[in-house]
A and B are shown apart, each in its own frame.
Chain A
Amino acid sequence: ILNVEQSPQSLHVQEGDSTNFTCSFPSSNFYALHWYRWETAKSPEALFVMTLNGDEKKKGRISATLNTKEGYSYLYIKGSQPEDSATYLCALKSGGSNYKLTFGKGTLLTVNP
C-alpha cells in the first residue's frame, strides 16, 4: 500500500502572505506526481503533473517543485488571496499500466482577508 503524506493538514494565512505545503511519497517505482486544487462543491482542478526529478512548474502565483530521489514535492503560493482558499491535494501515480492515483489527505488552506 502506497503512503502519500501531506503537511500541514490545515493552514490559515493572511491575505498577501506567501505559503507552502509538502507532499511526501515513496520514491520507488515513481511515475508522476499530480497536484489538484479542490474547492467545496466543485470539481478538483488539476494544477500540475510532474514527472522529472528537479521539475519546477508555475501557474500564475502557484508553483511546485519535485524531488523524486528523496520523495517529496512542494507547492508554493505567492501573495495568497482569499480565492486561493481550498484543499490542495497531491496524488502519486506509480509505474504500471493502469492510471490509479494514490492521494494524500490534502492541505486545507484558508486565506483571511
Chain B
Amino acid sequence: SAVISQKPSRDICQRGTSLTIQCQVDSQVTMMFWYRQQPGQSLTLIATANQGSEATYESGFVIDKFPISRPNLTFSTLTVSNMSPEDSSIYLCSVVRGVDREQFFGPGTRLTVL
C-alpha cells in the first residue's frame, strides 16, 4: 500500500480566493493524480501530475483554474483558483503502485466555497 497525506483536511473559503492543497507520499512514485468529487457526483480525474513537466489535464479541466506542481516524486500540489461555490468538493490525490498497478488515495481535502 501507500501512505498518502493531504493538507489541509478541510477548509471553508470565500468566493474569488484560491486554495493550494498539498499531497505527500511516503515513498517515490511515478504516477500521481488529482481527483475531485462534487456533491452527489462520481470521483472524477482532474489531471495527471507529471514530475518535471506540465500536468496533463482531462477534458473540462484547465491549467489556469487548477494549476498543479510536482517538484519531486513524493510531493504535489493542486491549486483551486478564483473559487466559486461550484468548486465545493472533496479533492483527493492518488498514486499508482505495485505489480497490480493499484491506485491508492489520500484522505481527501473537503473544500466548501461560500
**Chain A residues at the B interface, C-beta cutoff of 8 Å:** 4, 34, 36, 41-44, 46, 49, 89, 91, 98-106
Main secondary structure of the interface of A (DSSP, over half): loop
Query: Smallest Cβ distance from A9 to chain B, in angstroms?
Result: 9
Q: Tally B residues with Cβ within 8 Å of A.
A: 25
By beta carbon, the residue of chain B nearest A106 is B42
Residues of A within 8 A of B96 (CB): 99
Q: A98-B48, A99-B33 are in contact. Are A49 and B104 (CB under 8 A)?
A: no
A44, A49, A105: the one contacting B42 at CB < 8 Å is A105
Query: Smallest Cβ distance from A96 to chain B, in angstroms?
Result: 12
Q: Check if B4 is an interface residue, CB within 8 A of chain A.
A: yes
Within 8 A of A (CB), among B77-104: 92, 96, 100-104
Q: Check if B41 is an interface residue, CB within 8 A of chain A.
A: yes
Query: Smallest Cβ distance from B98 to chain A, in angstroms?
Result: 10
| B103 adjacent to A34 (CB under 8 Å) | yes
| A46 adjacent to B48 (CB under 8 Å) | no
